[in-house]
């Protein structure tokens, strides 16, 4: 494309006089073409001052929340009986779903895609490991695990996010027995309630073909829920390497409480087409609302005058579900001799051991 440079400069000068939103609107189509067309067809534009929007900024501008709500509506549409088997069979073939583990193997039983995504398993399909103190809360792939260092957590190898940005400000000491805040204590140190303990993390990615329910990873008491209504970008490991602090941008539900060794938290992170996060014992939780303020969050305490212990959860007990694959992040306190029995990148199933003392 050989544009006369003088005319192009004049045209770009007119664009620069526009309001910033209008300028972005006019330059986005060119940006999309810039990344799609082969052989740098629009490279001459960059020589006269035009710059494409970055890939990250372009991706962040996609209305993923709106698309996820539309996908949720589509999932609720009841399929004709004759169409169910072809549709579900295509999904099973694409994502490698093992229907022999499903409590109901007959594909005609599932009236819509949502029911199929949230299918239950046979009781014997996922035996819960009794020998280890922490088990996997879901099926998935281990993205990262280990000690939390310098108040940062790895979402994938080499890409970190802030612990405080992810969990939000310190929760009231009425709900959790945090160490008293002092100028010398970092956010990470405030979460550790017992001397000699360390803070650990584990990130599990649920692919679209995985079992979509998640369970309690240990015996603990849930005292508090914090809901961050945010973006719904993909949490695929490839995207997680691309966008720093992706988990801090996305919508998520943080459950915090304590177990026998101190602080314990489980966070369900939403993703594209996964605007619906359900916690079975929390009927007041509503995710992917059309209206939200960026950076906001809302808190709910399960500790009350009548229930000072919070919600007790047994290891392996049903906790919640996604409408499609997403991510579970565990952040917890444990003694220094706690050991993970994992390898980064390995596949894991609900009930298998994560680690123990």
Active site residues: 139, 215, 326
Q: Return the H-helix or E-strand segment holding 316.
A: none
User: Are 188 and 165 a contacting pair, CB within 8 Å?
Assistant: no
Neighbours of 31 (CB within 10 A): 20
User: Are 250 and 287 a contacting pair, CB within 8 Å?
Assistant: no
Query: Which residues fall within 8 angstroms of residue 164, CB to CB, at 6 or more apart?
Result: 151, 187
C-alpha distances (whole Å) from 113 to each of 41, 77, 81, 169, 217 are 41, 8, 13, 37, 27
User: Are 173 and 191 a contacting pair, CB within 8 Å?
Assistant: no
The closest alpha carbon to 15, from 33, 28, 32, 34, belongs to 28
- 3-state DSSP assignment of residue 139: coil
C-alpha distances (whole Å) from 225 to each of 134, 174, 192, 320 are 21, 14, 19, 13
What is the rounded CA–CA span in Å between residue 236 and residue 325?
Answer: 9
**Residue position matching structure tokens 């499903």:** 102
């Amino acid at each position: 494309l050989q544009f006369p440079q003088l005319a192009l400069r004049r045209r770009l000068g007119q664009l620069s006089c526009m309001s910033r939103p209008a300028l972005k609107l006019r330059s986005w189509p060119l940006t999309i073409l810039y990344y799609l067309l082969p052989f740098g067809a629009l490279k001459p534009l960059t020589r006269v001052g035009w710059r494409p929007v970055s890939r990250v900024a372009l991706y962040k501008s996609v209305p993923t929340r709106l698309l996820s709500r539309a996908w949720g509506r589509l999932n609720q549409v009841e399929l004709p009986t004759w169409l169910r088997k072809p549709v579900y069979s295509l999904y099973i073939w694409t994502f490698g779903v093992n229907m022999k583990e499903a409590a109901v193997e007959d594909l005609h039983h599932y009236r819509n895609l949502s029911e199929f995504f949230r299918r239950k398993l046979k009781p014997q399909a996922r035996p819960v490991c009794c020998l280890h103190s922490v088990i996997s809360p879901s099926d998935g792939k281990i993205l990262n695990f280990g000690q939390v260092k310098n108040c940062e957590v790895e979402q994938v190898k080499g890409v970190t996010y802030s612990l405080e940005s992810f969990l939000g400000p310190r929760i009231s000491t009425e709900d959790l027995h945090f160490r008293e805040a002092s100028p010398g204590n970092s956010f990470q140190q405030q979460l550790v309630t017992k001397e000699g303990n360390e803070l650990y993390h584990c990130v599990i990615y649920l692919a679209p073909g995985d079992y979509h329910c998640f369970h309690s990873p240990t015996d603990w008491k849930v005292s508090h829920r914090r809901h961050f209504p945010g973006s719904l970008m993909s949490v695929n490991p490839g995207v997680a390497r691309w966008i720093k602090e992706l988990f801090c941008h996305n919508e998520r539900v943080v459950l915090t409480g304590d177990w026998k060794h101190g602080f314990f938290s489980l966070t369900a992170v939403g993703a594209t087409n996964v605007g619906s996060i359900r916690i079975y014992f929390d009927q007041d939780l509503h995710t992917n609302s059309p209206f939200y303020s960026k950076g906001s969050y809302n808190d709910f305490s399960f500790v009350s005058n009548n229930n000072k212990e919070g919600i007790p959860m047994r290891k392996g007990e049903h906790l919640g579900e996604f409408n499609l694959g997403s991510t579970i992040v565990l952040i917890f306190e444990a003694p220094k001799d706690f050991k993970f029995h994992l390898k980064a990148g390995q596949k894991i199933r609900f009930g298998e051991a994560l680690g123990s003392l």
